[in-house]
Structure 1
């Protein structure tokens, strides 16, 4: 599947060209999948949910389950650094395979790391909480010159966190299922979808659904409960505000919320 286009930061919550070309992942149909909604720095909630997933997979004796994170690992919540450190690991005790997709907040953080002086708007987009998780005072950042800020970031943000952000794919396809952060442009073939839609879109996707023969599992648009819409399932339950992090299990026998 072809890589997608680049985007440049403009303002919070607006579609932008991607900071780097991002790949898509495709896996064989029929594999049991657990999808996890937007984490937003809620590290303890993530660990608790992963424990429930591991117990559920054992109870059902699932073969080769896969956990798919739907993006937005940082910003707003209390411990973005710990979440990224967790996702960068390859030695999880449950030995369940994981795929972490890119969210718009993750993409924006990467752009800020590369050029902080040009992307200060990220601090009003939840980035202040992320900086605090790395021991950086956001108020002090505003007083720094771009060169000084770049040095501070390089010293505070580990290289393997940057490498993780750069490597995140933008979507995962499995048969007639598509896992993506925000959604897709309705009626547009998957090979013609742009990163800016997959990372940022709300309408017309939320109203119309994919208008393709597939079901999209996504986050990005937070609500108090998961939403089962036309050809789509949204599992962003706003953990940083509600304390509720949601997952959905999808197998050939059906689906269930965790």
Structure 2
């Protein structure tokens, strides 16, 4: 009889759901990649949601890769900067911000950057396509120094690598499973993929990340991938965390028009 009671007690134990600190709410936004049209609508939706929700200290976290691939990287950077003047926003650097910054001084990195969506970023700062095609790498670097505002470079340089909130950790790409949260390398936080995605054991925190595109959110007990491929799919996603509850706000482009959807997320 005692053994059976112990079995029932053990069976009744459920692991508490991961949570953020009490009295706090987080809006975690996936990779924007130059889609300022979607970003604009998601900002409006987040602000409306925050006004209507229960009183809490709210923080927006942008998971990086604001730039490249989509057509309006310059405007995304300026919009993100201005948003941070009106409310609490924390900015995480992605691998595309890293490439962009290094391109100002390193011609080989500039060449690599342009092949991986950087061309669209360069054009978003006002260089015409015809002129872009005529410039050498050295000339293009000079153009970047002239056209990209110093305030944009300073903004990108000041980005963080990791944000921790209760049982969650927010990073761009993921974490190295071999190391603790405190011992992560910047290169892994911005670039890691397979070693992180294939890991099947618990981490110390639930990792919320971007970097790898999942057309539907990727969700395991240990990580949540919220890069829904905005530049390609027209879906830009924010994960809302409050207490142990999760929700989704998504800006979606269909047939040239953008709508916003609110969904529960287990």
TM-score range, shorter chain: 0.7 to 0.9
| Aligned partner of 1:198 among 189, 199, 215 | 189
Partner of 2:14: none
2:27 maps to 1:43: no
CA distance in 2, matches of 1:162, 1:142: 24
The answer to whether the 8 A contact 2:34-2:73 is kept is yes
> How many angstroms apart in 1 are the aligned matches of 2:53 and 2:33?
29
- 1:118: Cα distance to partner? 4.8
Match of 2:173 among 177, 182, 185: 182
* Structure-1 separation of matches of 2:62 and 2:109: 29
Change (3 A) 1:231 1:150: same
Q: Work out the CA distance in 2 between the residues paired with 1:210 and 1:196.
A: 22
Provide the C-alpha distance between the structure 1 equivalents of 2:112 and 2:29, rounded to a whole number of angstroms. Answer: 27
- The residue aligned with 2:146 is 155
Say whether 1:96 aligns with 2:87. Answer: yes
Q: CA RMSD in A?
A: 1.9
Q: Which runs of 5+ in 2 are unaligned?
A: 1-19, 250-266
- The 2-side partners of 1:197 and 1:34 are apart by 23
Residues 1:120 and 2:150 aligned together: no
Q: CA deviation at 1:86?
A: 1.2
SS in 2 for 1:208: coil
**Greater Cα shift, 213-222 or 147-156:** 147-156
2:96 aligned residue (101, 105, 108):
105
1:70 to 2:59 alignment: no
Using the alignment, how far apart are the partners of 1:134 and 1:209 within structure 2?
42
Name which of 125, 136, 146 aligns with 1:134. 125
Q: Give the conservation status (yes or no) of the 8 Å contact 1:32–1:250.
A: yes
How many matched pairs?
229
Which protein has the bigger strand share?
2
| Equivalent-residue separation in structure 2 for 1:66 and 1:209 (angstroms) | 30
TM-score (norm 1): 0.83
2:76 aligned to which of 70, 83, 88: 83
Gaps of 5+ in 1: 1-27
1:56 aligns with 2:49: yes
- Find the counterpart in structure 2 of residue 249 from structure 1: 240
Q: Distance in 2 between matches of 1:243 and 1:151?
A: 33
2:214 aligned partner: 223
